[in-house]
Amino acid sequence: MWFVIIKWGINGAALVWLIRIVIDTAILFFIAQKEVKMYRRANYKILMIIFLLLSLTLPFIINDIMIRIIYVLVILVGYMVISWKYLLVEDEKSY
């Protein structure tokens, strides 16, 4: 992490921390699925991974703050729709 901070500053630190959080989250979800015995379709997992990677890497490319704000809003709405349609089962939707 120190090397990245020296080379790219605060953006590098944010990127390294983001990678750490993504790996940590993936491990926690894997363990939770094993414990609760939840099995989702593999196609939806791939879709969510692609969506996650795109949503996390593109903000490093965008420089204008207004475009970033619009981008975040679009990503949040998209994540809500995808989660509602493909990740939640009927019991969870009725709760």
pLDDT value at residue 41: 57
pLDDT value at residue 44: 67
Crossing angle of helices 42-57 and 65-82, in 10° steps, is 170
- Residue 86 to residue 5: CA distance in whole angstroms: 38
pLDDT confidence bin for 79, thresholds 50/70/90: confident
pTM of the model: 0.48
pLDDT value at residue 31: 81
Each residue's pLDDT tens digit, 11-68: 888 888 888 888 888 788 778 777 776 655 556 676 777 777 777 777 777 888 899 8
